[in-house]
Amino acid sequence: MCLGLLLALGCGRAPAGGPAVVTFPGSALGAEGQVLRRQLERFAALRPDIRVVQRPTPDAADQRHQLYVQWLNAGASDPDILQLDVVWTPEFAAAGWILNLDRFHPATNAFFPATVTANQWHGRLYAVPWFVDVGMLYWRTDLMSAPPATFADLAREASHAQADRGLRYGLVWQGARYEGLVTVFSEYLGGFGGRILDGGTVTVSSPAGVRALTAMRDEIYRDGIVPQSALTWHEEESRFAFQNGEAAFMRNWPYAYALMEDTAASRVAGRYAVATMPAAPGGRPTAALGGAQLAINARSDHPEAAWAVVEYLTRPEQMLERARGVGQFPTRPALYAEPELARALAIPPAQARAIIEHAVPRPVTPVYTQLSEILQIDLHRALTRQQEPAAALAHAAREMQALLDRVGLGEGGPGAGR
Amino acid sequence: MRAGEGAERREARLAWRLVAPALATILLIALFPLLWTVWESVHLHDLRMPWLGRPFIGAANYLEAFRDARFWGALGHTLLFTVVTVTLELGLGCVLALAMNRAFRGRAVVRAAVLIPWAIPTVVAALLWRFIFEGQTGIANTLLVDAGLVRDPPVWFIHSGLAWVPVVLADVWKTTPFVALLLLAGLQNIDASLYEAARIDGASAWRQFRYVTLPLLKPAILVALIFRTLDAFRVFDLIYVMTGGGPGTSTEPIALYTFNSLLQNLRFGYGSALSVIVFLITFALALGYIRFLGAGLTETRA
């Protein structure tokens, strides 16, 4: 961070004829920062005409988002390259803050389709998928021989583990009122064949939506497999419960896999595997899509140079290095056949790829964060039994639709974006 | 005569010049942001949707707030929190102050010890109390079960009613010492001879409290009331840390909703309208108290 600051202070714009200076506020901390610095050093040797300056930014997503919005609103041409969370791309694209990348002819078919969809707005690509994150089901290999395919199987196995093996919990997930709850719900929703949004129409209160939310609620109060405390839990609380051997199943992100292999901290090391979340008849196993993307500031003075950096960082060999250094999953399916990736990642690449292929982006809309906030509140109301699932979802749908209509993104609205 | 008038005018001019920096500072840091907030509140200004522009929309933001169930909910929660915590803090603070006012051994130590909760940063206190009440096997639940008070311990933070208990407890724990200290200062200003006279007249302890202590303590009580009410009305950090306003929005106060609209959703127009409403309410409260306080002061002096 100090290094980044010194660099930032040390160089302004290059004089005419000198190298094009491109600023990039990517994560500069820990192992991630080291990998990035190595990659940028190699890039510098390759392209002496471009100088990349790292900018320190907060690592917390909310803070980074707020900072970006302030910078871009003020029309700043700096930073040139932006590291975006997967749900920000449409927002920044519709606001006209980031460049349409189609002019650089990126090879979009080399990436997982879901990661490309999430980065498109009005059919045009605005960011390149850098690494991918997906929600998955962790299951205990010492308690069962195969992961459950349906929610009913899961409930049965979970109750069984509680009754016969004396496990405290059957299943743990993230139920606090925050973005994580929406990602969990989106996996249940997909599993029951529903969607949050269909174009400009909110469809979350469909029968599939009500069934999905009711299923989550039943897991707590009817089947008793999910603890009530989970309604205050984020990722880490779920991981602690699972790694202490207290739960038969856990819904979480890939980061937990490597951490729980540490025998000093984990009681389940070597006794778990991952699979896609289950589905109900009529639904499809669904994994919430997360991860980071690289975009270019629409006001950048050096869009070509910025693109050269983005293109370099998203090359196959750089992705493999990221996987090796930080365990992040490449966005290129072809890499999952590489033996090197198997050595780099804790999760067997074939399993990881199978889950990523079930990834579904959260609604691709510029107002995603606002829609999500409405949904978080009503989901939490239903799960804490302040409201029935149908009533809560109907309320959420009304509010979400009103928001879409108000900003011209609703069905029949003029449509935003340019 | 003329020279004297000139000197007076010069003096007045000098006075204005001397206070000018202070006045300018007040204008700059108090009035200017306030007026800007009012200006924002009558515009549609959504940082995340620049394509909507920044048009003047009159009272539309205010009308939206008045039609917004979440706004009314947040206002209700704030009022509930204010009334409950201020009442408890004043009652307990009074008891504490009376106890500390008595002469006993180790009084200085007790007075210092009582202030410890007040000295702890709010965020730390909030995290502490959240930890005590967290989960089904938290400290509070374990104590309740061991004492045989409950058999099936609740998860406090997922009940719209129960979630208030830790929040109110934390606030009362943290701020009662402050109230106690204010009241203690008031108590020490009461002349001991008044109690002597009351005792000679045969007044019971209760009557002494009711007719000597209470009236003379009124100014201190009013000061404590005004500080605590305004503070409680702006409650933010404690609830932000403990419940985040949840479950659902059951414990969301108006300051948290405003913060959400302004800094999470970056709706500057709507968030500003909420801020202006909060400002008007606190301003009215302060004004009411100052009139009340003034009357109280003159009454006790008379």
Q: Are residues A265 and A376 in the same domain?
A: yes
Could you list the pLDDT tens digit for every one of the 418 residues in chain A? 344 444 444 344 444 567 899 999 877 777 888 899 999 999 999 999 999 998 888 878 888 888 899 899 889 998 999 999 999 999 999 999 999 999 999 999 999 999 999 999 999 999 999 999 999 999 999 999 999 999 999 999 999 999 999 999 999 999 999 999 999 999 999 999 999 999 899 999 999 999 999 999 999 999 999 999 999 999 999 999 999 999 999 999 999 999 999 999 999 999 999 999 999 999 999 999 999 999 999 999 999 999 999 999 999 999 999 999 888 999 999 999 999 999 999 999 999 999 999 999 999 999 999 999 999 999 999 999 999 999 999 999 999 999 999 888 887 544 433 3
Residue A411 inside a domain? The answer is no
Q: Give the domain extent around A273.
A: 134-287+363-406
Residue B138 inside a domain? The answer is yes
Residue A414 inside a domain? The answer is no
Count residue pairs from A and B with Cβ separation < 8 A.
Answer: 83
Rg (CA), chain A: 22
Query: Which of A173, A169, A168 lies closest to A136 in space, CA to CA?
Result: A173
Task: Give the distance, in angstroms, between the CA of residue A155 and the centroid of all CA atoms in the same chain.
Answer: 26
Per the structure, the count of domains in chain A is 2
Q: Are residues A54 and A109 in the same domain?
A: yes
Candidates B51, B250, B264; nearest CB to A416? B51
Residue A37 inside a domain? The answer is yes
Q: Given an 8 Å threshold on Cβ–Cβ distance, is B264 in contact with A373?
A: yes
What is the per-residue pLDDT across B22-71, written as a single tens digit (0 to 9) for each? 999 988 998 999 999 999 999 999 888 888 889 999 999 999 999 999 99
Candidates A94, A177, A229; nearest CB to B136? A229
Domain with residue B121: its CATH number is: 1.10.3720.10
Residue B37 inside a domain? The answer is no
Residue A295 inside a domain? The answer is yes
For chain B, list the strands marked E by DSSP: none
Residue A189 C-alpha, separation from nearest chain B C-alpha, in angstroms? 20
Task: Give the distance, in angstroms, between the CA of residue B239 and the centroid of all CA atoms in the same chain.
Answer: 13
Q: Are residues B110 and B172 in the same domain?
A: yes
Q: Are residues B233 and B259 in the same domain?
A: yes
Residue with tokens 């539309």: B60
A53-73 as b/e, with b when 16 or more CB fall inside 10 Å? bbbbbeeeeeebbbebbebbe
Q: Give the domain extent around B146.
A: 42-301
B210-226 as b/e, with b when 16 or more CB fall inside 10 Å? eebbeebbbbbbbbbbb
Q: Are residues B67 and B137 in the same domain?
A: yes
Q: Are residues A198 and A239 in the same domain?
A: yes
Residue A267 inside a domain? The answer is yes
Residues of chain A with a CB closer than 8 angstroms to some CB in chain B:
62, 66, 69-70, 73, 91, 94-96, 176-178, 227-229, 231-232, 366-367, 369-370, 373, 377-378, 380-381, 384, 386-387, 407-408, 416-418
Residue B155 C-alpha, separation from nearest chain A C-alpha, in angstroms? 6
Per the structure, the count of domains in chain B is 2
Residue A124 C-alpha, separation from nearest chain B C-alpha, in angstroms? 18
Q: Are residues A148 and A234 in the same domain?
A: yes
Residue A259: what residue type? Answer: L
pLDDT at residue B294 in the model: 66
Residue B79 inside a domain? The answer is yes
Candidates A69, A378, A386; nearest CB to B160? A386
Residue A416 inside a domain? The answer is no
Q: Are residues A138 and A267 in the same domain?
A: yes
Q: Are residues B63 and B152 in the same domain?
A: yes
Instruction: From A337, A356, A375, give the residue that closes a domain.
Output: A356
Domain with residue A27: its CATH number is: 3.40.190.10
Report d(CA A271, CA A260) in Å as an integer: 10
pLDDT at residue B110 in the model: 85
